[in-house]
Amino acid sequence: MDSEKRQLHLFFLPFLASGHLIPAIDMAKQFALRGLKISIITTPLNASLFSKTIEKSKTMGLDMNVLVVEFPCIEVGLPIGCESYQLATSLDLRTKFYQATAKLEQPLKKLIQEYAPDCLVASTLLILHSMSFFSMCTAECLRLYEPQKKVSSDAEPFIIPNFPDEIKLTRKQLPDFYTQNVQTYATKLYEQGLEAELTSFGAKVLGRKAWQIGPVSLCNLDAEDKAQRGKEASIDCHECFEWLNSKKPDSVVYVCFGSMANFNDSQLKEIAIGLEASEQQFIWVVRKEKNDGGKEEWLPDGFEQRVKGKGLIIRGWAPQMMILDHEAVGGFVTHSGWNSTLEGVSTGLPMVTWPVSAEQFFNEKFVTQILRIGVAVGAQQWARFVGDSIKSEAIEKAVIRIMVGAEAEEIRSRARELGKRAKKAVEEGGSSYSDLNSLIEELRSHGIAGAASKN
């Protein structure tokens, strides 16, 4: 068959966590929009979370489908249905979760034999990173030069070697595997991943070539797509939209800490007090369900009454892209997860950075020091499960700094400019658009596994 015409078939195997699945599906859509066939491989629970998105893409004529594989919960001792990383809430459960993930290799191999796709976007042929170049370089410099070992205490700052800017971190802000010197199941998988990357298509053929595609969240153009991203929202999206419509431009701060970060009740109370004291309007996403009539210990007495009309609490999952994109929203308090950060950049918003886990402390440096579109709330301690405690006064001060006054205006104008550049990047002729084209061309011309394809 003429290789120019033959439809390329891509397999996507995203890690089973919202922060990976959401951008992977957005990315998959970008390829499907260029006429490629996409199969997303995932487990039953995760497949149900984005079934609407897949249905919608089909009605738009995109060639996207899902291949479901069972997640071997019972085999490794995980509770049935624990198919998402955020449901693995202890170290033991996380280890088992990684073991179950590793066991997906066999069913994956079977699917590859059956469908003979041209490319696997995951960990063997093409790597999809859901981290920034900045954070990847930081991680690599920590691994290679170990500046964290040359300071005498956990709180003493060290400089990341070989960076053009002076970026300082402390050991407290690093993921524990940099400091504990123990090899966990997760670090082993990470090392295997790194090895796979170095032998991947991008690396082997082209010398670790990278294609800069995104921000992928910008492919969700209509309100329904933005609202349905990731999971079903816990609030009536129309109601939320109406609420925002009643507000002036740039007058609402949106507070959300992604899909994983947890805070204890006393910290949530500090957030409530800080938000109220800032006198700003807000939407605050709290990942706690409302218990039947019982008192919610994390809410200060009479809080919801006092902030009625001024503040909206979403308990559960928020339609984040829809909210960030609304003109009434003028600031974003974020845990600095890379997806949230990119979404904040794409929508031109000043940010309060409040890193908790993963590479979020690196992203904070990028946002506050390099892009200069945010202010740090002051978190000092990296945490696997529960975030560092921050006092209400610090929250109040940081929120005011990005919402009111001359400094806020300066930050906002820089953020707006970046937002415009992000949008340009994904438009026809933009850098992301061209990179996606050249990646597709490379895949075509190398014809990876092409001849055997069943397309």
Residues lying near ligand UDP in the complex (CB under 6 A): 18-19, 22, 229-230, 256, 258-260, 285, 317-318, 320-321, 337-340, 343
Q: Where are the alpha helices (DSSP H) in 311-391?
A: 320-324, 338-346, 360-365
Shortest gap between Cβ of 19 and ligand UDP (angstroms)?
Answer: 2
Q: Cβ of residue 8: shortest distance to ligand UDP, in angstroms?
A: 26
Sign of the Cα pseudo-torsion (231, 232, 233, 237, in order): positive
Taking each helix axis from N to C terminus, what angle separates 338-346 and 18-33, rounded to the nearest 10 degrees?
50
Q: Which is nearer to ligand UDP, 124 or 130 (CB)?
A: 130
* In the complex, least distance from residue 245 CB atom to ligand UDP, rounded to whole angstroms: 20
Q: Give residue number: closest CB to ligand UDP.
A: 19
Nearer to ligand UDP, 230 or 374 (CB): 230
407, two tokens: 């400094």
Q: Between vectors from CA 90 to CA 87 and to CA 96, what angle results, nearest 5°?
A: 75
Among 450, 446, 453, 449, CA closest to 202: 446
- 354-392 residues labelled b (16+ CB within 10 A) or e (exposed): bbbbbbbbbbbbbbbeebebbbbbebeebbeeebbebeb
In Å, what is the CA distance from 360 to each residue of 131, 219, 262, 384? 10, 24, 14, 12
- Nearest distance in Å: CB 214, ligand UDP: 12
Q: Give the residue among 268, 334, 276 at the shortest CA–CA distance from 304.
A: 276
Which CB sits closer to ligand UDP, 72 or 258?
258
Q: Provide Rg for the chain, Cα atoms.
A: 22
Which CB sits closer to ligand UDP, 9 or 335?
335
- Select 43 or 453, whichever has its Cβ closest to ligand UDP: 43
Residue 127 or 318 having the CB closest to ligand UDP? 318
Q: How far is the CB of 318 from ligand UDP (least distance, A)?
A: 4
Q: At closest approach, how far in Å is the CB of 228 from ligand UDP?
A: 10
